Amino acid sequence: MKKTRIDRKFAELSKQEKKGFVAYLSAGDPNLNDTIDIVLRLEDAGVDVVELGLPFSDPLADGRVNQEAATRALEAGSTFDGVMECVAKIRERSEIPMLFYAYMNPLLARGYESSISASAEAGVDGFLLLDLPLEEARPYRAALTNNALNAIQLVTPTTPDGRIDKIVKQANGFIYCVSREGVTGVQDSIAEGAGGLVQRIKDRTKLPVAMGFGIGTAEQARDAAKLADAVVVGSAIVNAFNDRPQTAEGRADAAAFVGEMVKAVKEI
């Protein structure tokens, strides 16, 4: 499979001996047009990869902040086709690596093969499919491979070593290390044992390992970057852009907040 923007970005970071920063936001929050502006501001703030949540009514892996973001996106009229158009417009102005954080239901409802093909055509680089079990993944992963998209895989604190072995063999792009049990949401500190989980993954693959779930401050981002190849921040970024005024000044302030976390990660 040809290298995606995600592959090239992590290769570049490795060569520079730098850690990566992945930013999550829900596509369509507060609306699709503003999502374009936010993604471009995140890129200007130094973000390496953008993880776009495909709005879904029942995001089971997400805590309150990201659930509410998905609800706002749906209420604003976000649709699958609208998100594809949003990504295509971003691609007219940016080559930042992007992946979809998605649940299977909306993809299957629309037609899985056509959903994946449309995503690739729009300009996305990969998928993180939250509720696709390893045992059922083969035909769905094939569609990603056929469209030259990365298949990002999750490893959690409760994943046994034998299962990690199987997961990493199905993955490419990077491995998403879920640092704690539970759903998404800002926490007070990095979970105890997160470093050990990263090492267990690294013992089994040469793919980059990105740590997420619960990271919300520059200090936490720095601590996570000491353990993993990249840091994923979601709820804190969603909050930053939602809590501030929906103006150029408010967006600039939110982007500056993200920039401080990016700076902390890059200093490692």
Q: Would you state the pLDDT for residue 102? A: 97
DSSP states of 63-115 as a string? -HHHHHHHHHHHHTT--HHHHHHHHHHHHTT----EEEEE-HHHHHHH-HHHH
pLDDT in tens, 106-149: 999 999 999 999 999 999 999 999 999 999 998 999 999 999 99
Residues with a catalytic annotation lie at 51, 62
Strand segments (E) across the chain: 20-26, 49-53, 98-102, 126-129, 150-155, 175-178, 209-212, 230-233
The whole-model pTM stands at: 0.95
Q: What is the pLDDT of residue 191?
A: 61
Can you list the residues of the chain whose pLDDT is less than 70? Answer: 180-191
Residue 128, phi then psi, degrees to nearest 5: -115, 105
Confidence at residue 41, expressed as pLDDT on a 0 to 100 scale: 98
**Percent share of the chain, pLDDT over 70:** 95
In CATH terms, 5-266 corresponds, of 3.40.50.12780, 3.20.20.70, 3.30.830.10, 3.40.50.150, to: 3.20.20.70
The rounded Cα 190 to chain-centroid distance in angstroms is: 18
Helices 248-266 and 235-243 meet at what angle, rounded to 10?
A: 150
**How far is 21 from 18, CA to CA, in rounded Å?**
10
- Alpha-carbon 33 to chain mean position: 20
pLDDT for res 183: 46
The reported pLDDT for the residue numbered 214 is 83
Tokens in use for 252?
Answer: 């600039």
Domain boundaries, the chain: 5-266
Q: What confidence score (pLDDT) does residue 185 get?
A: 43
Q: What is the pLDDT of residues 138-183, one digit of tens each?
A: 899 999 999 999 999 999 999 999 999 999 999 999 999 998 554 4
